Amino acid sequence: MGKAKKDKDIKTNAMRFLDSKKIAYSVNTYECEDFVDGVHIAQMLGQDEDMSYKTLVTKGKGGGYFVFVLPVARELDMKKAAKAVGEKSVEMLHVKDINAVTGYIRGGCSPLGMKKQFPTVVDESARGFETIIISGGRLGSQIMLSPDDLVSACGGSFGDIVFDG
């Protein structure tokens, strides 16, 4: 038999954050040593890419940080993203700064339970699903929850933030 992990062993900040808000979610874990992009993970696990969402962190012209949650196979439209958060422009946070800003690592960055809650926009496509899949807050961990619960938990909003097409 495989090694069963006790719930407390796999709890991440994102999961503890949801627990504290009494928001229902489920967890999926898988073997993952290094960063693998979300498209390959969805394919590896037989999941619908359209329901699998990645978390991208940006820095605004004014110096603030902004979080965007979008389908793994789509690209963030920087102009739409900036407009959604009321900034002139936003740029991707450098990989080397992810941990210092969010407390997470590349590939394990969840929009929930960061060191500080930054303004968060979830792509409006999420509204079309009962449940979406986001990072669980570490490599090899996923959280499944309703898009409305995600937006509610992070005090975020829905917006049109991806390139068309």
Residue 3: pLDDT band by 50, 70, 90 thresholds? Answer: very low
What pTM does this model have? 0.91
pLDDT, tens digit (0-9, with 9 covering 90-100), for 91-125: 999 999 999 999 998 889 999 999 999 999 999 99
Burial call 83-109: b when 16+ CB within 10 Å, e when fewer: bbbebeebeebeeeebeebbebeebbb
Measured over all CA atoms, what is the biggest interatomic distance in the chain, rounded to whole angstroms? 55
In the three-class reduction of DSSP (H, G, I as helix; E, B as strand; rest coil), residue 65 is classed as strand
Q: List, in order of start, the domains of the chain with CATH numbers.
A: 29-159 (3.90.960.10)
Task: For 30-85, write each residue's pLDDT tens digit.
Answer: 888 776 788 888 888 999 999 999 999 999 998 999 999 999 999 999 999 999 99
